[in-house]
Amino acid sequence: MAFRRSIYKSRAQLEAMIEPGLITAAALAAVRDAVRPGITTGELDAIADRVIADRGAESNFKLVRGYRHTTCISVNDQVVHGIPGSRVLQPGDIVSIDCGAQFRGWNGDSAISVIVPGSVDAAPVDATAVDATAVGSVLVDATVVDARRALSDVTEGSMWAGIAAMASARHLGDISAAIEDHILGAGPSSVSGKPYGILREYVGHGIGRKMHEAPSLFNYRTPDRGAEVRPGLVLAIEPMVTAGSDQTYVEDDDWTVTTADGSDGSHWEHSVALHDDGIWVLTAADGGAAGLAPYGITPAPIA
């Protein structure tokens, strides 16, 4: 019978998670800085891979059975688990990048969404006037880009609401409720006229020796209030949100999760530790200071 590891970690174990968190943050920062029209998702993956290798770590995504890449990169109607490759990014694309590093046996896991910069025409797309194959010259309706930015902001905001809630939560369900409340509190999506969609089948998780550990963290309320939140808990908090319905399907590549209605998706994620002195966002270079400031929370370093 398998030994069930406690979901609560010692201070020494939390300290061991600092470096893999910072390496994950550095990899994503490098990718974010490289996002531009014309670059391929495969090239972005190579950038993340190099940062992780240069810091003496390894990609924990490559340790997932059957997966050979350092990142998942999901574009527009793809929400999560997109496979990097030959896809060329266009101005106005919403791109979610998910990445993790394993260092000395401990893991980090984090994701960001980025809007590809570049010239975006304010006028509606006139397909007859546009060579859709020419990189950098595709015209995207500015309202589409504004809606994508709003989607990313709602998703990121819900992640920070969840992180802030973790600082004082008694049970996991308190964090889930804070995430859901933020998303629904944002009002209707400008695309659907209905509340933003929250993926139900994909959830946050504990993280430590393995990238995915117990407990699961739902991004919405459930009847179960969930495990106790107390020092030693480390969670990957990762809302996955759509501008339309919450229904998705897995593409023929057996990985990519795409919205059924073709609406855009966004994914944000941080690995967060709760310890005796407070909360610390392991995958943020500032420990989460900027993201938690609106909540009046100052993160407390672990070491």
Residue list 257-286, contact with Mg ion (CB under 5 A): 269
* Binder among 19, 49, 98, 121 for Mg ion (CB under 5 A): 98
Closer residue to Mg ion in complex, CB, 19/121: 19
By CB under 5 A, which span of 59-67, 161-169, 235-243, 294-302 interacts with Mg ion?
235-243
- Of 67 and 295, nearer to Mg ion (C-beta) is 67
Residue 236 interacts with Mg ion (CB under 5 A): yes or no = yes
Kindly list the distances between the CA atom of residue 8 and the CA atoms of 131, 173, 230, in Å, as whole numbers in the listed order.
Answer: 55, 17, 8
User: Which string of DSSP letters, residue by residue, matches 9-39?
Assistant: --HHHHHHTHHHHHHHHHHHHHHHHH--TT-
Closest CA to 47 of 64, 65, 29, 20: 29
C-alpha span between 45 and 39 (Å, rounded): 11
User: Under 8 Å CB-to-CB from 2, ≥6 apart: which residues?
Assistant: none
| Choice between 192 and 216, CB closer to Mg ion | 216
C-beta of 101 vs 164, nearer to Mg ion: 101
Contacts for 245 with CB less than 8 Å, ≥ 6 apart: 192, 197, 259, 260, 261, 263
Q: How far is the CB of 205 from Mg ion (least distance, A)?
A: 6
Q: Per rule CB under 5 A, is residue 109 in the interface with Mg ion?
A: yes
For Mg ion, what does the binding mask look like between residues 158 and 187, x meaning CB under 5 A? ------------------------------
- Decide whether 28 or 111 has the Cβ nearer to Mg ion: 111
* Residue 213 makes contact with Mg ion by CB under 5 A: no
Q: How far is the CB of 283 from Mg ion (least distance, A)?
A: 9
Q: Are 207 and 236 in contact (CB under 8 A)?
A: yes
Enter the tokens of residue 75: 């574009």
Residues at the site binding Mg ion, with contacts judged by CB under 5 A: 98, 109, 111, 236, 238, 269
